C-alpha cells in the first residue's frame, strides 16, 4: 500500500469516517486498530518489533523506583542497540530493515526520556500504542512528540475549516510527489542526466549525482511530510513541520534548522543538550549530534564521515561568525549581496557533502584492502 | 483556506460539499497523472 494508491486513500477516508462517527473516548482504540493493521499489512516484522519495544518502554516509564534512571538508560541503550543491529544487518544484506524503524526508535527514546524526567501526563497503554502506530507519520515522519499527541487525542473535535486545510495540504503533497517528484525529477531530469548518473568514477559525475539526489530527496521527502501533516490535520492532530525552504538557508547551521526539522529538534533535545552539559564543549556536542544524524540515515563509514563533514561545517561557521562579527558594513546593498553569496556557499557546501565523503570513504577503504 | 473561501458565497453545508468535490477532482487528476504507477514509487526507508 503506497501513499500514491487508491488503497491508501480509501484507508485514510475510512479511518476519518469511523473517527467522525464514534465517540471521542473510543479514539485511541480506533487509532490502534487502523494504525496497527496498517503497520502489520506493510511489514509484519516491524509490527511485532514495534509492539515488543512499545510494551517494554511503556512499563519502564511506569516504574517509580529509585533505580528508575538505570532502567531508563538501559532501555534507551537496548532500543538504540537493536536499531543499530538492524541497520548493520540490513547493510550487510542479511535482513530487510523493519519498515519505519528509524522513526519509531527515536519516538520510543523520546518517550522513555520524557517519562524518566517526569514530564509525561498520566496516560493509558492504549493511548501510548495509538501514538506509536499513528499511521500518517509512521512511514516517513515527521517525528511527532507524545505530549502534543496526547493533548490532541484528548481534546480534538471535528472542525470543517481544519479538515479542509488538512485536505488541501494533502493534495499539495500529492501534487508535489507525483508532478514534481515522480515526473519532473525521477523522469525528466533523470533522463536528461542519464549519462552522469550512471558514471561511478570522477568528481564531476559525483557532483551531478549529488545535485540530483538532494533535489529528489527534498521534493519527495517534503511531499511525504505534507501528506502526513495533511492527513493528521484532517483527523484533528497537529504534526510538526519538517521543512522550511532549506535551500534558502544562509549558513549551514540555519540549513539544519530548516531541513528535517523534527529530527533536528529531536537530536538537539536528546543528543546536543545532554552532551554539551556533560562535556561543556559545544563542538563535541555538535559532532555527536551530526554523527547521530548520519547513523540515523545509514550505519556506514560514509554516513559517519558525512556527519563529521557537517559537524566541521557548523563548527567552522561558528568560528567564522565570531571572528567576522561587526567587520562588514551594514548597508542594504552589501547585506543583499552577502545573503546571495551566503545562500550559494551553503548550497555548495551541502551539495559537496556527497562527493567529498564518497571520495574520502573510498580512499579509507582502499587503504585497508 | 478553500472551505472558508466557499463559505463567503455559499451556506456552510454547500461550501463543505463543493470543497469535498473540488479536492476529489484534484486527487483524480493527480492519480490519472501518476498513471497509478505504484511500482515507480519507492519509499525512503531509513
In a domain, B33, yes or no: yes
Do the Cβ atoms of B44 and A224 come within 8 Å?
A: yes
Model confidence at A66: pLDDT above 50:
no
In a domain, B22, yes or no: yes
* Chain A CB within 8 Å of residue B4 CB: yes
Interface test with B, best of A171, A215, A242, A298 (most B CBs within 10 A): A171
Do the Cβ atoms of A2 and B27 come within 8 Å?
A: no
Residue A25: band (very low, low, confident or very high) from pLDDT cuts 50, 70, 90: confident
* Chain A CB within 8 Å of residue B5 CB: no
In a domain, B10, yes or no: yes
Residue A343: band (very low, low, confident or very high) from pLDDT cuts 50, 70, 90: very high
* Chain A CB within 8 Å of residue B44 CB: yes
How many inter-chain contacts (A to B, CB under 8 Å) are there?
72
**Minimum mean pLDDT among A90-94, A255-259, A336-340, B18-22: which range?**
A90-94
The predicted model gives A125-144 an average pLDDT of 90
Residue of B nearest to A91 (CA): B46
The predicted model gives A99-103 an average pLDDT of 86
* Chain B CB within 8 Å of residue A124 CB: no
* Chain B CB within 8 Å of residue A6 CB: yes
What span, in angstroms and rounded, lies between the C-alpha atoms of A356 and A361?
Answer: 8
pLDDT confidence of residue B42:
45
pLDDT confidence of residue B46:
44
Chain B residues touching residue A163 (CB < 8 angstroms): 3
In a domain, B11, yes or no: yes
The predicted model gives A280-286 an average pLDDT of 90
Model confidence at A2: pLDDT above 50:
yes
In a domain, B29, yes or no: yes
What's the domain count of chain B?
1
pLDDT confidence of residue A107:
93
Are the C-beta atoms of residues A269 and A256 closer than 8 Å to each other?
Answer: no
Q: Pick the residue with more confidence: A64 or A78?
A: A78
Are the C-beta atoms of residues A106 and A82 closer than 8 Å to each other?
Answer: no
Residue A77 in grid coordinates? 541503550
Average pLDDT over all residues of chain A: 87
Q: What pTM was computed for the model?
A: 0.86
Instruction: Collect all residues with Cβ–Cβ distance below 8 Å to B1 and sequence separation of at least 6.
Output: A161, A164, A165, A168
Do the Cβ atoms of B45 and A165 come within 8 Å?
A: no
* Chain B CB within 8 Å of residue A84 CB: no
Question: Which residues 295-314 of chain A have a CB within 8 Å of chain B?
Answer: 296-298
Residue of B nearest to A104 (CA): B46
Question: Which residues 218-247 of chain A have a CB within 8 Å of chain B?
Answer: 220-221, 224
Residue A51 in grid coordinates? 509492539
The predicted model gives A81-110 an average pLDDT of 85
In a domain, B46, yes or no: no
Instruction: Collect all residues with Cβ–Cβ distance below 8 Å to B8 and sequence separation of at least 6.
Output: none
User: What does the pLDDT look like over A185-235, one tens digit per residue?
Assistant: 877 887 787 766 666 667 778 888 888 888 888 998 899 899 999 999 999
User: What does the pLDDT look like over B15-33, one tens digit per residue?
Assistant: 888 888 888 888 888 877 7
How many CB atoms lie under 10 A from the CB of residue A59?
Answer: 12
What span, in angstroms and rounded, lies between the C-alpha atoms of A78 and A364?
Answer: 31
Model confidence at A33: pLDDT above 90:
yes
Residue A52 in grid coordinates? 515488543
In a domain, B35, yes or no: yes
* Chain A CB within 8 Å of residue B13 CB: no
Q: What is the DSSP string of A165-223?
A: HHHHHHHHHHHIIIIIIIIIIIIIIHHHTHHHHH--SSHHHHHHHHHHHHHHHHHHHHH
- How near does any CA of chain B get to the CA of A243, in Å? 16
Q: Say whether the peptide bond before residue A96 is cis (omega within 30 degrees of 0).
A: no
Are the C-beta atoms of residues A225 and A173 closer than 8 Å to each other?
Answer: yes
The range of the structural domain enclosing residue B6 comes to 2-40
Are the C-beta atoms of residues A106 and A263 closer than 8 Å to each other?
Answer: yes
pLDDT confidence of residue A196:
66
In a domain, B16, yes or no: yes
pLDDT confidence of residue A199:
65
Amino acid at each position: 500500500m503506497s501513499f500514491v494508491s487508491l488503497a491508501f486513500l480509501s484507508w485514510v477516508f475510512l479511518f476519518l469516517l469511523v473517527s467522525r462517527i464514534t465517540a471521542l473516548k473510543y479514539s485511541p482504540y480506533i487509532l490502534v486498530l487502523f494504525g496497527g493493521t496498517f503497520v502489520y499489512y506493510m511489514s509484519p516484522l516491524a509490527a511485532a518489533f514495534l509492539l515488543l519495544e512499545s510494551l517494554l518502554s511503556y512499563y519502564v516509564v511506569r516504574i517509580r523506583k529509585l533505580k528508575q534512571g538505570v532502567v531508563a538508560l538501559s532501555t534507551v541503550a537496548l532500543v538504540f542497540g537493536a536499531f543499530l543491529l538492524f541497520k548493520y544487518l540490513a547493510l550487510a544484506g542479511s535482513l530487510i530493515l523493519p519498515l519505519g524503524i528509524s522513526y519509531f526508535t527515536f519516538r520510543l527514546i523520546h518517550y522513555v526520556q520524557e517519562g524518566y524526567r517526569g514530564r509525561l501526563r498520566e496516560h493509558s497503554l492504549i493511548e501510548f500504542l495509538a501514538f506509536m502506530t499513528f499511521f500518517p507519520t509512521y512511514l516517513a515522519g515527521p517525528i511527532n512528540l507524545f505530549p502534543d499527541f496526547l493533548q490532541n487525542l484528548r481534546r480534538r473535535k471535528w472542525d470543517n475549516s481544519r479538515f479542509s486545510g488538512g485536505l488541501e495540504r494533502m493534495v499539495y503533497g500529492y501534487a508535489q510527489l507525483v508532478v514534481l517528484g515522480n515526473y519532473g525529477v525521477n523522469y525528466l531530469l533523470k533522463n536528461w542526466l542519464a549519462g552522469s548518473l550512471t558514471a561511478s568514477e570522477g568528481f564531476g559525475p559525483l557532483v551531478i549525482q549529488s545535485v540530483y539526489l538532494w533535489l529528489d530527496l527534498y521534493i519527495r521527502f517534503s511531499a511525504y511530510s505534507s501528506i502526513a501533516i495533511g492527513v493528521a490535520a484532517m483527523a484533528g492532530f497537529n504534526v510538526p513541520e519538517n521543512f522550511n525552504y532549506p535551500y534558502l538557508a544562509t549558513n549551514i547551521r540555519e540549513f539544519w534548522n530548516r531541513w528535517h526539522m523534527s529530527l533536528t529538534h529531536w537530536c538537539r533535545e536528546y543528543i546536543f543538550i545532554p552532551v554539551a552539559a556533560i562535556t561543556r564543549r559545544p563542538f563535541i556536542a555538535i559532532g555527536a549530534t551530526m554523527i547521530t544524524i548520519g547513523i540515523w540515515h545509514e550505519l556506514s563509514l560514509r554516513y559517519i564521515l558525512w556527519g563529521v563533514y557537517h559537524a566541521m561545517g557548523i563548527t567552522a561557521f561558528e568560528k567564522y561568525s565570531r571572528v567576522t562579527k561587526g567587520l562588514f558594513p551594514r548597508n542594504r546593498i552589501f547585506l543583499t549581496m552577502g545573503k546571495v553569496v551566503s545562500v550559494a556557499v551553503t548550497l555548495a557546501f551541502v551539495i559537496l557533502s556527497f562527493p567529498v565523503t564518497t571520495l574520502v570513504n573510498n580512499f579509507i577503504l582502499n587503504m585497508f584492502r | 483556506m478553500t472551505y472558508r473561501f466557499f463559505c463567503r458565497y455559499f451556506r456552510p453545508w454547500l461550501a463543505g460539499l463543493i470543497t469535498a468535490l473540488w479536492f476529489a477532482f484534484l486527487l483524480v487528476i493527480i492519480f490519472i497523472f501518476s498513471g497509478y504507477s505504484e511500482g515507480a514509487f519507492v519509499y525512503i526507508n531509513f
